[in-house]
Structure 1
Amino acid sequence: MAHETVTWLNADFTERVIQLAEVDSTIKVIDISAKPATNKGDNYTSDMVRVVAEFTRKRGKAKVTEKKSLLFKFEPILEGPRQDLVNKIFSTEIFMMTKTLRKMSELLGSRVSAQAYYVKLERPLCLIMEDLAPLNFRMANRHTGLDKEHATLAIQGLARFHAASVALCEKDPKQKSLYWRGMINEENTDLITFFKAGAIGLADEVGTWPNGKKYADKIRKFADKIFDEELRAMKRKDDEFNVINHGDSWTNNMMFRYDKNDKPVEHIYVDFQLCLYCSPAVDLHYLFNTSVFEEIDENLSTEALLEEYLRALTATMKRLNCKTQPPTLKEIKRSMSERLVHALVSSMNILPFALTDKKDAKTIDDVLQDQFKNPGLKSPTFQKIMSIRLKKFDEAGLLD
């Protein structure tokens, strides 16, 4: 782990960070402890370290002792596929958290992310931020997907995020040009292997399902063009409604705060390395196809969630006095229809990760290998969901 390699992560450095975060020069760190903040498979790109500091500070004439937890997010130190990939996107998150998200939060009057405290720009780059766990935030269960209560909070949170980005881009148009990379772009050909292997692995698995061979052959042919098709879906059209997309809006990149009865009451996004200025269809497809399992939960309806998204988006844009007109439901659906291949690719390549058992979790270096086979493809839940989705995707002509 990164914290075992860097020498500057010590009590003195942590003290300076906390003094800045708390705006209190009387803070003196007594001790720190550091340990990995995520499990294998929770965060595929960066190294996350949780640092808990015990410190003293002055309160009036008294000296009190307190504790504070911080998250240190490092770009990969070891050379390899993961470092090659992450070095291209880590700066996006730094700029999002230190500039864009702060401005969006100010416009909304409420948080849209954890607070960034400090950025260390020497290699390895490190983003130091607020730890949301002590505030009773935690991730939902990615294996079961979001239930109606969580999904509703998530879609409302996404709508506010998008609305705030519209308001910010009106005030500061250069924001639009900052977020062009996303997950897929013409420079990021490293992921061709990943997407193609995902499609071939799915074809092999689907071929073993009842009545699956007709889809397997089509999916195998689709593998050769999957990257180009996804690239086309990510292309922005300046004559339609656009927002700053989170770009990786699945269960592991969102957290929920719970009340004393364990009811989710607040949603927040984390991990902003893949942000993209484009149609909101990008985030909507990704969320619906990685984290909302309406195929196996009769209480869920992506149609109802889409309507709630539009309601919250419109209301928030009105509150923020946006000059841009919000899209109609018809316009949103048209944009999603034009980018339906993103739903297919999200289901094909990302959903299996959500459904992979913890004991089978892989690293990004494993994932970027030529012959990678995602263990999540073997999940019975995946088969139930994908059997229904493949029929829909095939009927839409995506597999032809």
Structure 2
Amino acid sequence: MITSDRALCHTIQRYYDALGRVQVDVCNEDLVTEEKHYGSEICRVTCSLKDGKDERTVSVILKESTLDKMINEAIEENVHFTSELQMYLEVLPCMERLCQDTFPDCEPLWPHCLGHMEDTKIVLEDLKVLGYKLTDRQTGMDYEHASLSIRSLAKFHALSMALINNGTVSPGKFSKFVFGGDYSFMNDLSKNRFDTLLKAIKDSWSGEWKDVLERLGRLPSSAAEKVKEMRLQPCKWNVINHGDPWVNNIMFKYKKGTTSPESVRFVDYQLSHYGSFGFDLHYFINTSLSIDLLPSTEKLLLEYTQTLQEQMKHFGLKNIPTFHQVLDEMKRLEFFGLFTAVSITPIIIAPPELAPPRFNQDLPLEEIVSRNVERFRTEEYTRRIQIILRRAQHGGFFERMCG
């Protein structure tokens, strides 16, 4: 992936202010496997920094986005979706300065960016060296990990609100949202996913799901359009959403000798967008929680609310939401939660043998179609989506959406 050692050396030199020559040694370890499902190509690069007789070795991550390429090929036009470079170069440094001014001992919620090469390659600090690890994407997060994650999302959201409020960041730069219903290929994709779920229910679920099947069957043709309507409706608490806060984009550092997380970092800002905080929360809840946490999420939402309230007060922000208002906003965006559970979650929790092809990976069409169908029929996904559908049914979701 490194097209120019010289360009990478120059990027690293500028960051470390190295006076001598930076030697780059590319490791063969590839952080991206078919199992991880990233929309990027990522490799770890070890670098020897020499300054006279002094020498030290650092490890960095070189990431190249393939999301734009995949989307542009699908719609056959040049659309630049990714806001990741703007996030790393403009927004996150401002967030860090504001956070340090307010909370001097706080740690950033993201990796530092060393620089970039071209518009699609970003050089980042290696969080693995700092002790950060991923959790299991197929089983999802337990309460301890989920609690730290959702409270950290609240801090991230409050920081974005403060920067927008003082004019440091323009929300207009983050108006595009891949899942926002503006692009026909995404609309077609979501319709296909709903249709595939309906077929799985009809073919293999018991008769007790007949009512849900009937009501769910009214949604597929308008799924993406409903998400678009939700985005256009006014919200009092718009934030810069991470956009893709699922298990593999959240890394944890642990208390020494324990399995208790003490620090978190969010990675991958390709889908960051401006809108209601509820988009991030629904995405996180429906893609990343363990099955045990799915039936009741109010405790986590309360923790989010309390953290958001505290942070907004620290930044001197007005119009702080109550817990009841947070729940109302989550209810307003409830369909996006189901949209995520149907369109995104099957891919996220799929076993490696059912993963979608990576960019430029050739697979027969029959194999691609077969994998898509089977992802909706795994025991893990079936258990998850049944809990989500029952929760929606008991909460009156289908009556509100389908009549």
TM score, norm. by length of structure 2: 0.86
Structure 2, unaligned stretches of length 5 or more?
A: 101-106
Report the equivalent of 1:48. 42
1:344 aligns with 2:338: yes
Residue 301 of structure 1: how far off its partner (Å): 4.4
Aligned residue for 2:377? 378
Aligned to 1:29: 23
- Aligned counterparts of 1:258 and 1:82: Cα–Cα separation in 2: 39
> How far did residue 104 of structure 1 move?
0.8
* Partner in structure 1 of residue 307 of structure 2: 312
Residues 282 and 330 of structure 2 are in contact (CA less than 8 Å); yes or no, is this contact kept in structure 1?
yes
Q: Offset of 1:21 from its aligned partner?
A: 1.9
Partner of 1:330: 324
Equivalent position of 1:108 in the other structure: 99
Report 1:119-130 matches (<5 A).
119-121=116-118, 125-130=120-125
Q: 1:36 offset after TM fit, Å?
A: 2.4
User: Structure 2 vs 1, CA of residues 390 and 271 (structure 1 numbering), >3 Å: closer, same or farther?
Assistant: same
Which residue of 90, 99, 114 corresponds with 2:90? 99
- 8 Å CA contact 1:296–1:384 kept in 2: the answer is no
Give 2:33's aligned residue: 39
**In structure 2, distance between residues paired with 1:268 and 1:78:** 24
Superposed CA offset, 1:367-391 (max 9, x none): 9x78872543222222222223213
Equivalent residues of 2:11, 2:116 under 8 A apart = no
Partner amino acid, structure 2, of 1:280: F
Q: Percent identity?
A: 23
Q: How does 1:187-266 map to 2 (within 5 A)?
A: 187-207=182-202, 208-211=204-207, 212-237=209-234, 240-261=236-257, 262-266=259-263
Question: How high is the TM-score relative to the length of structure 1?
Answer: 0.87
**One-letter amino acid of the structure 2 residue matched with residue 390 of structure 1:** L
What are the Cα deviations for residues 273-309 of structure 1, in whole angstroms up to 9, with x where unaligned?
A: 111211111111111111123x5359x8411111111
SS for the counterpart of 1:196 is helix
Counterpart amino acid of 1:309?
A: Y
Contact persistence 1:37–1:49 (CA under 8 A):
yes
1:393 is aligned to 392
Candidates 64, 76, 84, aligned match of 1:74: 64
What is residue 104 of structure 2 aligned with on the other side? Answer: none
Q: Deviations over 1:147-204 (max 9, x none)?
A: 0110111011101000101111111265221111123235432211221111011111
Unaligned runs of 5+ in 1: none
| Change in 2 beyond 3 A, CA 1:201/1:188 | same
Q: 1:169 and 1:84 mapped to 2: Cα distance?
A: 33
Report how far residue 220 of structure 1 moved. Answer: 3.5
Letter in 1 for 2:111: A
Q: Is the 8 A contact 1:41 1:362 kept in 2?
A: no
Cα offset, 1:219, TM superposition: 3.0
The offset of 1:222, in angstroms, is 1.5
Instruction: Kindly indicate whether the alpha-carbon contact (under 8 Å) linking 2:241 and 2:273 is maintained by their aligned counterparts in 1.
Output: yes
Question: Cα deviations across residues 63-119 of structure 1 (Å, max 9, x unaligned)?
Answer: 233222221221339965565579745541110111001101111123121111112
1 CA distance for matches of 2:309 and 2:11? 39
Root-mean-square deviation (Å): 2.7
